[in-house]
Amino acid sequence: MTVVNVSFAAAGFLGIYHLGVIEGVLRHGDKLLCSLKACAGASAGALAATVMITAPDKLQHCKDFTYRFARNVRSQSFGAVTPGYDFMLELRGGIEEILPPDAHQLANERLHISVTNSKTRKNCMVSSFSSKEDLVQVLLASCFVPIYGGVKPVEFQGQKWIDGGFTDSLPILPLGRTITVSPFSGRQDICPVHKGRSNLYMRLANMSVVFSKDNIIRLNQALFPPSLPRLKELEQEGYQDAVRFLEHEIWMQ
């Protein structure tokens, strides 16, 4: 097998789909893992990529946090934008708890995080981290949606950054094959199967998705988390789609 990378799309609370994919790969994808060079991602996809590179043993912990985080957002009167609720602070707490102390060392040159410069609106891929705090800051920047996450962009290395999904929601790395993962039906390697007849596609910052009712519902659920049973369905869907991909590529263990 040639060198491969895995890239996870911006997904909001549908990042639980990514965690299902990761579980499928960890259980059945030894052939893929042996050739894995790097992971990339934007927003929630960056969080998933970080877990795969630095803390695969914390996968269940990450799922539990996602369920708890979604429940807390749902319980707010106006969701994430409810006055007095600090979305980014809760996200930071989860990241800090899950990542190991040497996460930045494990991530160096193996993790590529998409962020957007808040001033120039240009994309930047960050793959070098001098400390765990540096890595945490870049992850927060990649997840920061203005208004939804607050009013002040995340600062890193003297500049201000916002969600990487605005400019590159599904990074493709230059060397080797990049396996793309998305919770939206489309042309990605691992994604939900489109069940309708629509042949219309739309581009979402480097991600090609089907223009369909199901995807519109998923886009809404990315910011306004669905119920726990639905989140668990999405997780299982990610797992099954990963297994289907591995079988198709004849990489199944």
pLDDT digits (tens, 9 = 90+) for 125-176: 999 999 999 999 999 999 999 999 888 999 998 999 999 999 999 999 999 9
> What ranges do the domains of the chain cover?
4-249
Any idea which residue has 């877990």 for tokens?
Answer: 51
Angle at 4 between CA 62 and CA 97, to 5 degrees: 20
pLDDT at residue 204 in the model:
74
CA-to-CA distance for 212 and 189, rounded, in angstroms? 18
CA-to-CA distance for 40 and 48, rounded, in angstroms? 9
pLDDT at residue 195 in the model:
80
Is 64 annotated in the active site?
Answer: no
Residue 190, token pair as written in the block: 């691992």
pTM of this prediction?
A: 0.94
pLDDT at residue 1 in the model:
62
CA-to-CA distance for 111 and 104, rounded, in angstroms? 9
CATH architecture of 4-249: 3-Layer(aba) Sandwich (3.40)
| Short-list 183, 223, 237, 210, CA closest to 48 | 183
| Short-list 18, 33, 30, 53, CA closest to 183 | 18
Could you read off the pLDDT tens digit of each residue along the chain, which spans 253 residues? 678 999 999 999 999 999 999 999 999 999 999 999 999 999 999 999 999 999 999 999 999 999 999 999 999 999 999 999 999 999 999 999 999 999 999 999 999 999 999 999 999 999 999 999 999 999 999 999 999 988 899 999 899 999 999 999 999 999 999 999 999 988 899 999 888 776 777 777 788 888 888 888 998 999 999 999 999 999 999 999 999 999 999 888 6
Is the separation of the CB atoms in 194 and 212 below 8 Å? yes
Provide the 3-class DSSP secondary structure of residue 78.
coil
pLDDT at residue 207 in the model:
83
Structural Rg of the chain based on CA atoms: 17
Is 43 annotated in the active site?
Answer: yes
| Short-list 57, 44, 65, 181, CA closest to 114 | 44
pLDDT at residue 13 in the model:
95
Catalytic residue among 7, 118, 142, 163: 163
